[in-house]
Amino acid sequence: MDVDLIFKIAAVGILVSVLNQVLTRSGRDEQATMTTLAGLVVVLMIVVQKIAELFDLVKTLFNF
């Protein structure tokens, strides 16, 4: 497992958390929610790509 993947996910989480707090404090709750959802989508896309790579690796390993 690549450590860079963990750092990328952590960086997205920290960025989304800071943006969420700033937007919530300024009274823009809708934008804060959308920012959180966008961060979740970005992280899910990263994870899905890694899972696809894992399936390809298993596929080539067992010659399917």
Report pTM.
0.82
Rounded percentage of the chain residues whose pLDDT exceeds 90: 94
Full domain range(s) for residue 26: 3-61
Q: Is the per-residue pLDDT at 32 higher than 90?
A: yes
Counted domains in the chain: 1
Res. 63 pLDDT band, cuts 50 70 90: confident
| 35-56 confidence digits (pLDDT tens) | 999 999 999 999 999 999 999 9
Residue 32: left if φ>0, alpha if ψ -120 to 50, beta else—which one?
Answer: alpha
- CB-count burial class (<10 Å; 0-12, 13-18, 19+) for 51: exposed
Q: Is the per-residue pLDDT at 7 higher than 70?
A: yes
